[in-house]
Amino acid sequence: RACVEIERVFRGHCGRERARAAREQRAATEESGVFQYYATVIQRAFKGYYSRKYVHDFFARKAYIESIKQKSEELRDQLSGHMEQQIEAEQDRAEAAARDEFKKVTQNLHHLLSTASTPGVYNPPYAQGMVPTAFNVPIEDHL
């Protein structure tokens, strides 16, 4: 009978020890959870502050955008000037090609010129004052 009583008291003691250990473990887990929550809150606040202060600086970004706008305006002006030069060069080439073509066509038409007694094809007597021109020069001067 004494053995049973000793075993009963010992089992109660072991149960109370396990319960106390479980209670301490649960309290430590809860306390760790609270500390982790507040650490997350503090880290979130600091990371937001640091990001706004150094990473995504509003004034630095504004200055950067302004510099980009200025560079793009300079580039746009430069490119428009270059385009105007190209257009002008193309017009000069087209005019030179037209003059060469006109010269080739009119090279062998000297027999159509006016003489002192006979008016030529390009100087008709009925068109007084209206002499046909090419490149602002009378056609008979080209021939």
Q: What does the pLDDT read at residue 139?
A: 66
Q: What does the pLDDT read at residue 55?
A: 84
Q: What does the pLDDT read at residue 106?
A: 74
Asked if the model's pLDDT at residue 78 lies above 70, the reply is: yes
pLDDT tens sequence across 93-141: 999 998 888 888 777 776 666 654 566 666 666 666 677 676 667 666 6
Asked if the model's pLDDT at residue 79 lies above 90, the reply is: yes
Q: What does the pLDDT read at residue 142?
A: 64
pLDDT tens sequence across 9-55: 999 999 999 999 999 999 999 999 999 999 999 999 999 999 888 88
| Alpha carbon distance 11, 90 (integer Å) | 107
**DSSP assignment of the chain, as one string?**
-HHHHHHHHHHHHHHHHHHHHHHHHHHHHHHHHHHHHHHHHHHHHHHHHHIIIIIS-HHHHHHHHHHHHHHHHHHHHHHHHHHHHHHHHHHHHHHHHHHHHHHHHHTT-GGGS--SSS--TTS-TTSTT---EETTEEHHHH-
